[in-house]
C-alpha cells in the first residue's frame, strides 16, 4: 500500500479530489436507511454508490447457496446488485437513484413482500 | 404513436455524432439514452475522453463537466430532442421502438433507426468470480469517475490489453494500489468469506479487496438482432456483431448501427462513423455522405475497416 493517498479520505471511500476530474462538487444530502441503519447519501447518486461510500459491498444473498453478491457490471445488466427498496423486490441498485427516506434492505434469496410472502 | 424521422439509441460518441448530423441535415431527430446524463463511455473513460474528443471540443481539465458540455453543445442544434433516463428495450416490425421511462412505457416509430448502443465488457468466469469485490473494469471506472466512490484500495487486474492498462492508470490516479496483474483467466482464483479477500495467481497469493476484469469490450447490437439483422463473429471487431453496408445500414431496411456496437473502435473513429450513419439515416445528399465517409477513412483504423469488409464477405457467402 502506498504511503500517501491524497485523493481518498481514509474514513470514507468518496473520491473528494481527482487529478483529472477536480474537486467533488457539492451535493444535497439525502437520508436513507440500510437494514434499518441510517446512512447519508448524495442526492442523485445510485443506491449502490451510497452503500459503497459507506463501506457496504454486499447487496444480496443468493437463493439456495446463500452466497453474497455485490456490484459487478455497474450498468444495470447483471442483477448482482439487486436489493429490496421501499418494499419493492429486485431493484437494480447500481442504476437506481437514492431518495430521501428510502428504505434499502439486503435481499435474501428471492426476497419477501411486505406481507411476508416470498 | 409518436413518429419521428430519425431515432438514435445511445448518447455516446457515435450516437451524439449521428443525432447531430441527422438533425443538422433537417431530419426531426430523437436521441435516447438510458442514463440520466448523456456522454456514454465519455463519462467514465475520462483519460481517453480528454485526449481524443475529436469534433466534440471538450475543454481540458481539471474538472471538466463532460456531460454538461455535450448538453450545452446539443442544445444549440435545431430539430433535435434528447430523452434521457429512457430505455429502448425492443425493436419491432415497422421501425417501432419499445421505450420505457421510470413510470411509463411507450412506442416510438421512426423512418430510420440508428442503434449506437456501444459495448459491454468481456467477462470470463474463474473460481470466486462472483464474490463482492470482483467487478468489471467498466464498473470500477463508473464508480470512481461518475459516482466518485472507490470500490476498494488493493487491486488485482485480470487482463493484459489496452483496457487493463487504461484501468491501471485510472486506479493510480485515484490513489489506490494495483498489487498484481494476471493475463490469463485460467490462472486466477479469488477467495474470501462473503467478500473478496485473497487472489491467487498461479502459485502466488495476494491480499486484495478488489479484482477488476479488464479483458476488453465486445459489441452490443442486441436491438439489431432483435430486428432480425444478420451478423457474424469477427474477432477483430470484438465479437459477434451486425453486417452493415458502407452507410451503416443493416440487412433490415432503415435499421442502422453505428460505433462500438458494430465493432470496437477508437473515439475519433466513433465520431466520424456516427456522422456518416446519421447523414445516411436522415437521407442527406450523397455528396455530404461521401465527404463524411472520407473523414471516416482518414480517422479509421485499417484493422477495423478490414474486419468490416471480412464481415461483409462472410454475409455474401452465407
pLDDT tens for the 318 residues of chain B, in order: 899 999 999 999 999 999 999 999 999 999 999 999 999 999 999 887 777 555 677 665 556 688 998 999 999 999 999 999 999 999 999 999 999 998 899 999 999 999 999 999 999 999 999 999 999 999 999 999 999 999 999 999 999 999 999 999 999 999 998 999 999 999 999 999 999 999 999 999 999 999 999 999 999 999 999 999 999 999 999 999 999 999 999 999 999 999 999 999 988 899 999 999 999 999 999 999 999 999 999 988 888 999 999 898 887 766
Residues 6+ apart with CB under 8 A from B176: A5, A8, B150, B152, B153, B154, B155
Q: How far is B177 from chain A (nearest CA, A)?
A: 6
3-state secondary structure A82-106: EEEECCEEEEECCCCECCCCCEEEC
- Residue among A46, A53, A67 whose CB faces B130 most closely: A67
Residues 6+ apart with CB under 8 A from B309: none
Nearest CA in chain A to B208: A1
User: Could you identify the residue written with the cell 428495450?
Assistant: B89
Give the model's pLDDT for residue B20: 97
Nearest CA in chain A to B61: A20
Nearest CA in chain B to A57: B132
Does a structural domain hold residue A3?
no
Query: Can you read off the three cell numbers belonging to residue B109?
Result: 416509430
Q: Say if residue B69 is exposed, middle or buried (CB neighbours under 10 Å; 0-12, 13-18, 19+).
A: middle
Q: Which residues of B touch A94 (CB under 8 A)?
A: 139
Give the model's pLDDT for residue B59: 65
Structure letter (DSSP) for residue B283: T
Query: Can you read off the three cell numbers belonging to residue B121?
Result: 465488457
Give the model's pLDDT for residue A20: 86
Global pTM?
0.94
Confidence category of residue A115, pLDDT binned at 50, 70, 90: confident
Confidence category of residue A1, pLDDT binned at 50, 70, 90: very low
Indicate the number of domains in chain A. Answer: 1
| SS3 category, B149 | strand
- Residue among B138, B153, B177 whose CB faces A75 most closely: B138
Query: B123-213 in CATH: which number?
Result: 3.50.50.60
Confidence category of residue A96, pLDDT binned at 50, 70, 90: very high
Q: Does B169 touch chain A (CB under 8 A)?
A: no
| SS3 category, B145 | helix
Helix-helix angle B267-282:B286-299, to 10 degrees? 170
For the cut 50, the answer to whether the pLDDT of residue A42 exceeds it is yes
Domains of chain B by residue range:
2-120+217-317, 123-213
Q: Are strands B198-201 and B204-207 parallel, antiparallel or unpaired?
A: antiparallel
- Asked if B54 and B152 count as a contact pair (C-beta separation under 8 A), the reply is no
Give the model's pLDDT for residue B61: 54
Q: Which residues of B touch A96 (CB under 8 A)?
A: none
Does a structural domain hold residue A17?
no
Nearest CA in chain B to A48: B143
Give the model's pLDDT for residue B101: 93
Q: How far is A22 from chain B (nearest CA, A)?
A: 4
Structural class in CATH, domain B2-120+217-317: alpha beta
- Residue among B62, B132, B143 whose CB faces A74 most closely: B143
Give the model's pLDDT for residue A60: 97
* B47–A20 CB contact, under 8 Å: yes
* A20–B61 CB contact, under 8 Å: yes
Does a structural domain hold residue A32?
yes
Give the model's pLDDT for residue B280: 98
Domain of residue A56, CATH code = 3.10.20.440
Does a structural domain hold residue A54?
yes
Q: How far is B266 from chain A (nearest CA, A)?
A: 21
Does a structural domain hold residue A15?
no
CA distance B58 to B50: 7
For the cut 60, the answer to whether the pLDDT of residue A7 exceeds it is no
Does a structural domain hold residue A74?
yes
Range of the domain at A35: 27-108
Q: Where is pLDDT greater, at B271 or A9?
A: B271
Of A90, A95, A88, nearest to A113 by C-alpha is: A88
Q: Say if residue A89 is exposed, middle or buried (CB neighbours under 10 Å; 0-12, 13-18, 19+).
A: middle
* A68–B131 CB contact, under 8 Å: yes
CA distance B274 to B140: 27
Q: Does A19 touch chain B (CB under 8 A)?
A: yes
* A15–B153 CB contact, under 8 Å: no
Q: Which residues pair with A104 in a beta bridge?
A: A34, A85
Q: Which residues of A touch B121 (CB under 8 A)?
A: 73
* B142–A75 CB contact, under 8 Å: yes
What are the Cα distances from residue B18, in Å, to B32, B210, B214, B231, B270? 12, 37, 28, 22, 10
Q: Which residues pair with A83 in a beta bridge?
A: A91
Nearest CA in chain A to B211: A72
The pLDDT mean for chain A works out to 89
- Asked if B279 and B292 count as a contact pair (C-beta separation under 8 A), the reply is yes
Amino acid at each position: 500500500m502506498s504511503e500517501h493517498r491524497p485523493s481518498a479520505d481514509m474514513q470514507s471511500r468518496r473520491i473528494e479530489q481527482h487529478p483529472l476530474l477536480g474537486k467533488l462538487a457539492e451535493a444535497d444530502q439525502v437520508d436513507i436507511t440500510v437494514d434499518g441503519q441510517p446512512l447519508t447519501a448524495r442526492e442523485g447518486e445510485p443506491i449502490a454508490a451510497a452503500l459503497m461510500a459507506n463501506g457496504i459491498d454486499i447487496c444480496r444473498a443468493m437463493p439456495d447457496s446463500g452466497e453474497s453478491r455485490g456490484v459487478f457490471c455497474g450498468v444495470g445488466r447483471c442483477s448482482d446488485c439487486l436489493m429490496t427498496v421501499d418494499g419493492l423486490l429486485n431493484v437494480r441498485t447500481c442504476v437506481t437513484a437514492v431518495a430521501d427516506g428510502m428504505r434499502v434492505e439486503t435481499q435474501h434469496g428471492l426476497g419477501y413482500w411486505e406481507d411476508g410472502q416470498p | 404513436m409518436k413518429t419521428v424521422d430519425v431515432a438514435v439509441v445511445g448518447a455516446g460518441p457515435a450516437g451524439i455524432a449521428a443525432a447531430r448530423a441527422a438533425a443538422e441535415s433537417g431530419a426531426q431527430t430523437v436521441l435516447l439514452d438510458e442514463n440520466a446524463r448523456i456522454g456514454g463511455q465519455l463519462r467514465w473513460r475520462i483519460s481517453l475522453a480528454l485526449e481524443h474528443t475529436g469534433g466534440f471540443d471538450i475543454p481540458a481539465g481539471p474538472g471538466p463537466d463532460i456531460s454538461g458540455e455535450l448538453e450545452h453543445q446539443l442544445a444549440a442544434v435545431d430539430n433535435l430532442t434528447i430523452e434521457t433516463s429512457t430505455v429502448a428495450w425492443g425493436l419491432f416490425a415497422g421501425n417501432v421502438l419499445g421505450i420505457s421511462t421510470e413510470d411509463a412505457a411507450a412506442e416510438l416509430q421512426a423512418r430510420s433507426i440508428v442503434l449506437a448502443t456501444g459495448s459491454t465488457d468481456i467477462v470470463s468466469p474463474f473460481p470466486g468470480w462472483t464474490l463482492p469485490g470482483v467487478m468489471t473494469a467498466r464498473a470500477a471506472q463508473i464508480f470512481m469517475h461518475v459516482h466518485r466512490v472507490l470500490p476498494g484500495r488493493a487491486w488485482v487486474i485480470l487482463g493484459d490489453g489496452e483496457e487493463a492498462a487504461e484501468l491501471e492508470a485510472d486506479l493510480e490516479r485515484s490513489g489506490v494500489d494495483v498489487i498484481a496483474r494476471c493475463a490469463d483467466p485460467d490462472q486466477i482464483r479469488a477467495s474470501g468469506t462473503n467478500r473478496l479477500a485473497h487472489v491467487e495467481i498461479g502459485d502466488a497469493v495476494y491480499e486484495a479487496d478488489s479484482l477488476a476484469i479488464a479483458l476488453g469490450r465486445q459489441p452490443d447490437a442486441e436491438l439489431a438482432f432483435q430486428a432480425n439483422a444478420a451478423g457474424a463473429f469477427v474477432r477483430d471487431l470484438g465479437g459477434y456483431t451486425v453486417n452493415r453496408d458502407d452507410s451503416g445500414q443493416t440487412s433490415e431496411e432503415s435499421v442502422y448501427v453505428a460505433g462500438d456496437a458494430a465493432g470496437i473502435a477508437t473515439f475519433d473513429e466513433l465520431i466520424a462513423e456516427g456522422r456518416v450513419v446519421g447523414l445516411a439515416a436522415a437521407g442527406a445528399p450523397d455528396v455530404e455522405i461521401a465527404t463524411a465517409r472520407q473523414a471516416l477513412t482518414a480517422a479509421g483504423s485499417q484493422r477495423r475497416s478490414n474486419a468490416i469488409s471480412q464481415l461483409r464477405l462472410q454475409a455474401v457467402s452465407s
